[in-house]
Structure formats: structure tokens, C-alpha cells
Structure 1
Amino acid sequence: MSAFYELAPLDKAGAAYPFSNLEGKVVLIVNVASKCGFTPQYAELEELNKKYKDQGLVIIGFPCNQFGSQESGSNEEIQSFCQLNYGVTFDVLKKIEVNGEGADPVYKFLKSQKAGLLGFRGIKWNFEKFLINKKGEVVERYSSLTKPASLGDSIEKLLA
């Protein structure tokens, strides 16, 4: 079994969200923020969610305030923002850190599996994306500049 499925971050209410429930699914993990130039990507993420969730895609957002303090709200405020402004129906979990000693184990794992540009292991900014296949393997990492809508072909190949 992949170490990915051993992870259990906290959901928006602080309860365990066991990744073991994601076995056999394609997963897209994104560190998100409400006051970022990339925040409109929520709309494209929701479009992907609507298009592929019934085929086995799970999108998970992890709010993070480590980049320019662009996610300073409470977990409740973040949830409200996502739903009111972008109609988000995919899971947005509890706010975490993605870099440094306090980095959530999910991000420690993701970064260990797939380096970014020029071998950089840290997360550079909000809305970096990790695509995980049905076996729990990190198959791709995308920068903040990569628009979610451009991931359709990659998602479809993994769902097939």
C-alpha cells in the first residue's frame, strides 16, 4: 500500500480525513488561498470537480497562510468564501502550513515525491498542484501558473 494512503490530515471541522478512503481514486491536491492573484483558479478547479468527480477524481484544497498572508481567515471564513464566491463543492480541509518545520505530513510526503522547477522541493506559492494516480503515486506537480483547466488530458489518462 502507498504511504499516501496512510496519511490522515484534518478536515475543516478538525476531524481526521483518512486518505485510505481515496484508494482507487485520482486525486488533485492544491494549496489554496482566498486573497491571491491565483484565487480565481477556484472556479476552474470546481469545473474539473464537476466534470470528473463521478469518474473518480477527488480534488482537495489545503488553505495556507504562508505566502503573503493571503489566507488569514478562520476555517469557517475560508469555507464560506469558497462557497459564496466560487460555488466550491470539493473538499477544502483545515488550514495548514506547507513549508518549514510545521509543514503538514501531507505536504512533507508530496514534496518528497515530486520536486518542483529546478529540483526545488519547497512550495513556492499558493495554488501549486499535485496529481496522484489510483495507486497513491504522485505523478505530476504543477506550478501556480498552471491553470487547472489545462489538466483535463492528464486527469483523463489517469482515470482511464
Structure 2
Amino acid sequence: MTTVYDFSAQRIEGNEQSLADFRDQVLLVVNTASQCSQTPQYSGLQKLYKTYRKQGFSVLGFPCDQFGHQEPGDENEIANFCSTIYHVTFPMFAKIDVNGSKTLPLYNWLKREAGGLLGGRIKWNFTKFLIGRDGQVIARYAPANTPEKLAGKIEAALAVPAPSRRDSGD
């Protein structure tokens, strides 16, 4: 069975990161943009991260320029914007495609797991996927679902213990 932990992605700083590094955490995977009417959601995402990270929660931000050219900057510009304007400290990744032939494999999997109203396509910036500690998609949320509205869902996911693992070193 495929889980979020089977994927990797390039961090905004340039290094490749395995999502297995987030094993047993609850994750909120979000495609972001810095020049969008939804951009102020960065504040809410940062607040969720700050509130729940010690309980095993992380936001993973994936900048995307596929909707109205609302993320025109390069990785350095995006990182600077996120840190100086919204004080983002959650993990940010390099700019990606979430639709089309160059879609990041992680996003192909997310869309298969939780198709949404457009038959699998991402509709706009700040679409969110909540991932459980087992690495499986719990739910998909439209951009209109602000981070503040997801706090209860995150708390419920955090209440589920991480799956136990057998020692495979027999």
C-alpha cells in the first residue's frame, strides 16, 4: 500500500527530502501562492503548525504557479516572502506543478486518494490534504476551508495513535 512516506520532494532550499522523515506525524499538505487572494492563509497555517507541532503535526507547503501566475518568484523569493511577511517556519518545498504532465508524483497520489469535485484536478491555490499518522489521506479541503476551520479535524487526527511497527530485524 502506498503512503505519503513513499515520496520525496525538493525543499525550497534545494535539498531532496524524503517524506518518510515525517513518519507518524499528522500532515497538512498545501499548494501555496504568494500573490493570491488566499495568501493570508499562510498566517493560519503557521498558527496551526505552532499550536500542534509538539504533538506530532506539520504543515508541508508546496508553492505552485499554475493558477493565475500567482507564484511568479523563484525559490529564494518565495522563501524570503514566506519568512519575512508571514513568519513561516513550517517546511516549504520547491515550486511544483499540481496538475498536468509535470505534476509532482506526490500530488498525483494525493489526487487519486481524494479526487475532489474536479475529478482529481486541483482547483486553485491553498487546496489542502490532511494526512493521518499512518501516511494515508484523511480528507481533502477546498481553498475556501481556511486553516482555522481545520483545527478540530487536526486534533481528531492527532488523537489517533501512530501505527505500531514490527521489528523486521529477525
The structure where helix makes up a greater share of residues is 1
| Rounded Cα–Cα distance in structure 1 between residues aligned with 2:58 and 2:52 | 8
Kindly provide the amino acid, as one letter, of the partner of residue 60 in structure 1. Answer: L
How far, CA to CA, are the matches of 2:63 and 2:6 in structure 1?
A: 21
2:100 matches 1:110 = no
- Distance, in Å, in 1 between the alignment partners of 2:3 and 2:139 is 17
Query: Which residue does the alignment assign to 2:166?
Result: none
Paired residue secondary structure (1:92): coil
What root-mean-square deviation, in Å, do the aligned CA atoms of Structure 1 and Structure 2 show? 1.0
The structure 1 segments of at least 4 consecutive aligned residues displaced by more than 4 Å after TM superposition are: none
Q: How does 1:42-53 map to 2 (within 5 A)?
A: 42-53=42-53
Does the alignment pair 1:81 with 2:81?
A: yes
Q: How many residues align?
A: 159
In structure 2, stretches of 5+ residues that fail to align are 160-170
Q: How far does residue 17 in structure 1 lie from its aligned partner after superposition?
A: 1.1
Structure 1: tracts of 5 or more residues without a match = none
Q: Distance in 2 between matches of 1:144 and 1:4?
A: 21
**Contact 1:2/1:135, CA 8 A, preserved across alignment:** no
- Residue identity matched to 1:154: K
CA distance in structure 2 between the aligned counterparts of 1:42 and 1:144, rounded to whole angstroms: 12
Cα distance in 2 between the residues matched to 1:4 and 1:152: 21
| Structure-1-length-normalised TM-score | 0.96
Identity of aligned residues (%): 43
SS in 1 for 2:51: helix
* TM-score under structure 2 length normalisation: 0.91
Q: How does 1:124-139 map to 2 (within 5 A)?
A: 124-139=123-138
